Amino acid sequence: MAFGFFSRWLLFQCAVTCVLLDSVNTLQQSSILPQVPIVVECKTRSLFISLDIPPSGSEPRFEAVDARGAYPVTESYGAQCGYTYSVQPLLGRVVLRASYFSCHTDNQNDEVFTFMFGVFIMDQSGTESFFNVSQTCSVPPFSPREVTCEENYMEVSVRTDLPCPTAGSIKDDFSAAYAVAQSSAVEAWQVILQQEGQQSAVMSTEDAATLGYFIMATPGRLVFRTTFGQPYSSVKMVNNVAVEVIQATVFFRQNWMVVMVDLVAACSLDEGSFDGYRLHWRTPAVMTPLVVGPSELRSEYIGMGVDGEVVDEQAATDRGYSVTVSEETVDSSIPYAAEGGIRKSFVMDNVYNELYMVQLTYQQTFVDQRGVVTKHNVVRQMATPPIPRPPFSVNQTTLEERVFQVYLGNIPFDVELVSVELNGQEISVLTAAQMGYSITRVSEENNTFAYIIRVPFEDQFVVKQYVSEGFFEYSLEIKWTLNIMPQMEAYYHFSSVSAFIIDALPPVFDSMCADNGISFMKDHQQYDYLWDIGIGSYTLTPQLASERGYILTNDSTTLILDVPLFTIGYIYEDITLQQFYGTFELLTKNAKTLAIEQSSSKRCLFQTTELLVCSTDGVMTVVSDITKAVPSADPARTTLLDQSCRPQETDETRVLFSFGLNTCGTRFQIDQQYVTYENEIIFHELYSTDTRPVITRDAAYRVTVRCIYPVRGIESLFVDRRFAAETPGIGQMKDPVKVPPQMLKPMQPQKQTIMKPSFQLGVARKPADYARVGQWTSPLDEYAQWSLGGPNGGF
């Protein structure tokens, strides 16, 4: 810029910029509306213009417009004239900030400022449209000294009482004033640039402008502006904070006097930091380089905000803003994602990233010893580094369910799952739901989500591979497609899960009820050797079948097990004289672990003839046909040893007794291995007399019934009037015999001896050692001819 132009501009600002003249821009405004909205705001210390980057992706251009023409706002020209132009590609917008003391701004008494800009926007066809943007801002009075630290320049303005040349009216005498400025500027304005440790340089405003130092006068202020890193600026460490300082003195002749104005700007070079939670920016507690002469500065006010505006204390507290003042520094911090900043998410190298940007506005007021106020204003763009938020997957598969369950976590709130690819087959989330797949979104901590997908092993897309005999590997590769909303930017995550299982289901038995038992049948499968068939705790073998009376048929294709009624293993329920239920259960166990994998149980209804059942809870149930021994006997006249115990049911030939083993006169005997409980069904002959029939005790018949339990399997022998056995007892029934009358005389039972089942006898006890209420003999000797039934009974 030529010296003549710059000097003329100084006097032109002083003389005529109080009136805005019509622009001479020859461009014609576009008749259509802009493709993107243009936002214009008056801030405390600057004008703010922002607009989104148009769909063409071409960055909008700005031109500053005044009465003499239009001036493109380039990076270098913007820094010279007080314009800050920044492109924020991640946010998709551009921002222009213009100082109230920028070059082409109409200034009315440093109170009302009018801006005019031309904005050029290119559409997708390459056609550029032009739009006028104008704004008038009224601002409160400035302090005696204002220091502004922008992103691309430092600016200081001081209040002065500089006289403007008087040459008649502005319009009529404009040429004369212009000529005066042209002839007198070299003589009137000089600049001294001072640098610590260096000799001061005195130069003209032309030379200063060449070096990047710009000086201008307004109706009441002198403004000095320069970019960072210029010659004659210096960097000092003030309280461990790097500060760039520039100091200039402008002097000029006013009549017979020389007026000198000191202009000092100092800006913290702290670029900000992020600790993972908050953004921090530091500056010295007192900006000592701003001190001129012997005076001192003290801090009276500190405020902070965003986007050119300082917020009040309550708003700062609500947003989480913090100002920490120490003796040496001031730390201003803003929490991540706080109100006033902008959070942006994007994909980089197939990883979700997010960052937070904020335009910090900092203001500090200093007062010197004379009471002169200096306002120190800072605008600092701060941003976190890209913060990756990679998802992670967890295999939550449970083999017993035979379903893959995969958890995908750390999904940010602005991300949606749009599709999954199962072993190369891509399916949208909507289609997956229609196909029956379960995909669930669940909330997690820190404002994140997770997705859970379930895919059965037998699904068409799951790969099944043979590993070894009976073992297979099921595998599933999942590609998750995630979109950042609303820009629909996609990224992907891959999960791989597999499961090794025995691919053989436990055998299933078909069962059928027969008149005399239950029949089980199954077809042989390839992996039958992986399972054992059990009855209770015993494994079904040909030997066990033979010992218990089962009929086992096992050929090359089929296994058939016929279980006759009253063999070991039955459970009997709901016994009446007419019918009862019998249940038999086969257990399928893992051959290695012996864990029960499956149960095959059959419950059948049988007709009652005769039976004896010894339950695990100490109840003996017996159905007996007494007419086999005495055809004329009346079943209703039978009793047990305790003659108050009469049958629950009777018909023409049979009786049904059901009684506890500690009731109805039941006797018991213990030897080394067994506990035997015995009672008798007694019936008497009926004699007739002249008057009425009577029952006598001259002769009677008895049927002896017994329940035999292993000693080791009984928890209690009526110590607490309870009975509990691990397995049902073995029932024995002896054919009826006639009892001599003397054998039926009432006997007083001896004092009962109580023994716990865990007691092991060293030798067989003598008969006198047993508690008894009548004469009996060894259960295994005298009744060796009796047929033994299953654990629940038999005869």
**Predicted pLDDT of residue 442:** 95
**Predicted pLDDT of residue 26:** 40
**Is 201's pLDDT higher than 50?**
yes
Instruction: Name residue 230's amino acid.
Output: Q
**Predicted pLDDT of residue 37:** 84
C-alpha 153/C-alpha 155 separation (Å) is 7
Residue 251 — pLDDT band, cuts 50, 70, 90?
Answer: confident
C-alpha 413/C-alpha 352 separation (Å) is 12
Backbone dihedral angles phi then psi of residue 540, each to the nearest 5 degrees: -70, 115
**Predicted pLDDT of residue 494:** 96
**Predicted pLDDT of residue 197:** 74
The reported pTM is 0.59
**Is 392's pLDDT higher than 70?**
yes
**Predicted pLDDT of residue 6:** 33
Higher pLDDT, 185 or 674: 674
C-alpha 402/C-alpha 455 separation (Å) is 9
Q: For the ranges 52-56, 75-79, 220-224, 322-326, which has the lowest average pLDDT?
A: 52-56
C-alpha 432/C-alpha 453 separation (Å) is 10
Secondary structure string (H, E, C) spanning 561-598: EEEECCCCCCEEECCCCCEEEEEEEEEEEECCCCCEEE
**Predicted pLDDT of residue 466:** 78
Residue 765 Cα distances to 671, 687, 756, angstroms = 7, 43, 15
Residue 476 — pLDDT band, cuts 50, 70, 90?
Answer: very high
Q: How large is the average pLDDT for residues 602-616?
A: 91
Q: For the ranges 259-268, 396-405, 655-664, 771-780, which has the lowest average pLDDT?
A: 771-780
Alpha helices by DSSP H, listed for 173-312, are: 174-188, 205-211
C-alpha 368/C-alpha 348 separation (Å) is 51
**Predicted pLDDT of residue 178:** 33
Residue in this structure with the two tokens 């040893």, named with its chain if needed: 641
| Residues facing 71 on adjacent strands | 64
Residue in this structure with the two tokens 């006289």, named with its chain if needed: 163
Residue 34 — pLDDT band, cuts 50, 70, 90?
Answer: low
% of the chain at pLDDT higher than 70 = 80
**Is 4's pLDDT higher than 80?**
no
**Predicted pLDDT of residue 30:** 54
* Cis preceding linkage at 486, omega within 30: yes
**Is 226's pLDDT higher than 90?**
yes
C-alpha 33/C-alpha 572 separation (Å) is 92
B/e letters for 193-206, b = 16+ CB within 10 Å, e = fewer, are: bbeeeeeebeebbb
C-alpha 454/C-alpha 492 separation (Å) is 19
280-312 confidence digits (pLDDT tens): 999 999 999 998 777 789 999 999 999 889 999
Q: For the ranges 262-271, 289-298, 615-624, 718-727, which has the lowest average pLDDT?
A: 718-727
Q: How large is the average pLDDT for residues 649-678?
A: 91
**Is 2's pLDDT higher than 50?**
no
**Is 27's pLDDT higher than 60?**
no
**Predicted pLDDT of residue 735:** 66
The overall average pLDDT reported for the chain is: 81
Instruction: Name residue 491's amino acid.
Output: Y
Look up residue 580 and give its two tokens: 């009862």
Backbone dihedral angles phi then psi of residue 567, each to the nearest 5 degrees: -85, 170
144-191 confidence digits (pLDDT tens): 999 999 999 999 999 986 544 333 332 333 333 333 333 443 346 889
Q: How large is the average pLDDT for residues 117-144?
A: 91
C-alpha 721/C-alpha 706 separation (Å) is 20
C-alpha 356/C-alpha 386 separation (Å) is 8
**Predicted pLDDT of residue 20:** 30
C-alpha 310/C-alpha 303 separation (Å) is 6
722-771 confidence digits (pLDDT tens): 677 777 778 787 766 655 544 433 333 333 333 333 322 222 333 333 22
